Amino acid sequence: MTAASNGSSTVHCKPASHGLMIRPAMKVLVTNPHQEIEVPGPTRVQQLLKRLDLTPEAYLVIRGDELVTDDTVLEDSDSIEIRSVISGG
Amino acid sequence: MRCRKCTHPAVIKMPRHNISLCKDCFTEFVHTQVRRAVKSHRMFTTDDRILVAVSGGKDSLTLWAILMKLGYRADALYVDLGIGDYSILSRQKVQRFTDTVAAAYQANLHVHTVEQEQGAGIRELATLVHRPTCATCGTMKRYQFNRVAVEQDYDVMATGHNLDDEAARLLGNVLHWQTDYLDKQTPMLPASLDGFAKKVKPLYRLTEREIAAYAVIHQIDYIVDECPMAKGSKMLAYKHALNRLEAESPGTKHTFYLTFLDRQAKQQEATEKIAEQDRQRLHPCATCGQPTSTEICSYCQMMAKAVGAAQHG
């Protein structure tokens, strides 16, 4: 999938294998502000947060319905939510 | 990563305690922190009727869920502020939680609709009285929660303020040396005189991240989006700053706020001092009868100004 075809704000695709297949990337939803991006796996949770410049204390990382810890390896097939936990005015 | 206590797969790592916990051990950790907060500040007992201030957010719904689970008699009050789609969605979340979780404990939900009762939503009221929306909202919620708690004979009113809220508020008060506010920054404010409900914060030992994790684990469906009115608030800036410090030095927020409480307790019997000060300076509002330090309370002044502006506008 490419940036043009999915309309997401950021796409980091790995090079296509032999020029025939385009490798799918992990879908990541970030809340507050809402952002949908694609990131190539595999990657650890802590690397993902670092790459997106997000403070671990301010977010939870959820795979499906499950919380995952920062050493968890995320794969291309995963759907990930990075949920902001900060609230209040 | 494995749970430090039982070796099951961990779901959360908590650097401030240097532990990782599985679902069950984390749940027990959260319940222990709440029990400890309740006991150490003599917040309430299982005989007391508690009114929880709920907004549809993670903190208040989680607080309500935990109190019911721990065997407390907890009802809730939701104040519908009339903030467009945000209020519609948050009210839906509260109602759904009431129907699917609270109903099983025979707990009740009270709803106060600002547009219906006051004739305008919180944004319109803020415009009429020329005050920031968050300040107007704060006055409205404090007034309505206290009113309902007193009128409906609740023994205590509980809010979902957490460690991040309290540490950020403390940072703001210290940065501006607002020492009067420091005296009142305790997890328990007594019902110092008639018309004032006792107010408690049972989640003050838990971070926002821990509370959100509890909500996810226990499938508490809360409103994830931030209130649109909170954008650019100083509290959010303080929280971001504290989280940067926390990342560098885990435990910073915990030490900052809990050490403040320890020192406060050593310097004085904080709650007794607050109660005595309240008795000396507060009297019934000439308009509504709720306690105030002025002739007319800030809520009645605000509403009178709003009515006047609407009539002349």
CATH code of A19's domain = 3.10.20.30
List the domain range (segments joined by +) for residue A48.
3-84
Q: Does B175 touch chain A (CB under 8 A)?
A: no
Kindly report, residue by residue over B21-64, the tens digit of the pLDDT. Answer: 999 999 999 999 999 999 999 999 999 999 999 999 999 999 99
| Per-residue confidence (pLDDT) for residue B271, from 0 to 100 | 66
pLDDT of residue A62: 97
Interface membership of B166 toward A (CB under 8 Å): no
Say what the pLDDT of residue B152 is.
96
Residue A14 pLDDT exceeds 50: no
CA A39 to chain centre: 5
Q: What is the pLDDT of residues A60-71, one digit of tens each?
A: 999 998 999 999
Secondary structure of chain B as H, E, C letters:
CECCCCCCECCEEECCCCEEECHHHHHHHHHHHHHHHHHHCCCCCCCCEEEEEECCCHHHHHHHHHHHHCCCEEEEEEEECCCHHHHHHHHHHHHHHHHHCHHHHCCCEEEEEHHHHHCCCHHHHHHHHCCCHHHHHHHHHHHHHHHHHHHCCCCEEECCCCHHHHHHHHHHHHHCCCHHHHHCCCCEECCCCCCCCEEECCCCCCCHHHHHHHHHHCCCCCCCCCCHHHCCCHHHHHHHHHHHHHHHCCCHHHHHHHHHHHHHHHHCCHHHHHHHHHHHHCEECCCCCCEECCCCCHHHHHHHHHHHHHHHC
Q: How far is A4 from chain B (nearest CA, A)?
A: 28
Q: Which pLDDT value is given to residue A89?
A: 55
Residues A58-83, mean pLDDT to the nearest whole number: 95
Q: Using only the alpha carbons of chain A, give its radius of gyration.
A: 14
Q: How many domains does chain A have?
A: 1
Q: Do B226 and A87 touch (CB under 8 A)?
A: yes
What value does the CA radius of gyration of chain B take, rounded to a whole number of Å? 20
**Which pLDDT belongs to residue A3?**
35
- In one-letter notation, the amino acid at residue A12 is H
When mean pLDDT is compared across A59-63, B168-172, B181-185, the lowest value belongs to: B181-185
Q: Say how many Å lie between the first and final Cα of chain A, rounded.
A: 39
Q: Does residue A29 fall inside a structural domain?
A: yes
pLDDT tens digit sequence for B82-135:
999 999 999 999 999 999 999 999 999 999 999 998 888 899 999 999 998 888
pLDDT score recorded for residue B276: 77
| Residues in chain A closer than 8 A to B20 (CB atoms) | 69
Residues of B in contact with A58 (CB under 8 A): 209, 239-240, 243
For tokens 């001092």, the residue is: B273
ipTM over 0.95: no
Each residue's pLDDT tens digit, B216-234: 999 999 999 888 888 878 8
Closest Cβ–Cβ partner in B168, B212, B244 for A60: B212
Q: Which domains does chain B have, with CATH numbers?
A: 24-312 (3.40.50.620)
Can you say whether the dihedral through the CA atoms of A37, A10, A88, B19 is positive or negative?
positive
Q: Which residues of B touch A44 (CB under 8 A)?
A: none
Chain A touched by B201 (CB under 8 Å): no
A55 domain-assigned: yes
CB of B235 within 8 Å of any CB in chain A?
yes
A72 close contact with B: CB closer than 8 A: yes
Structure tokens at A69: 């810890």
| Interchain contact A77–B (C-beta under 8 A) | no
How far CA A26 is from CA of A21, A37, A84, B291, in Å, comes to 16, 8, 19, 56
Q: What is the largest CA-CA distance in chain A?
A: 52
The pLDDT score that the predictor gives to residue B268 is 64
A89 lies in some domain: no
Confirm whether A61 is domain-assigned: yes
- SS3 for A28? strand
Any CB–CB contact under 8 A between A66 and chain B? yes
A45 lies in some domain? yes
Residue A21 lies in a domain: yes
CB contact under 8 A, B213 and A67: yes
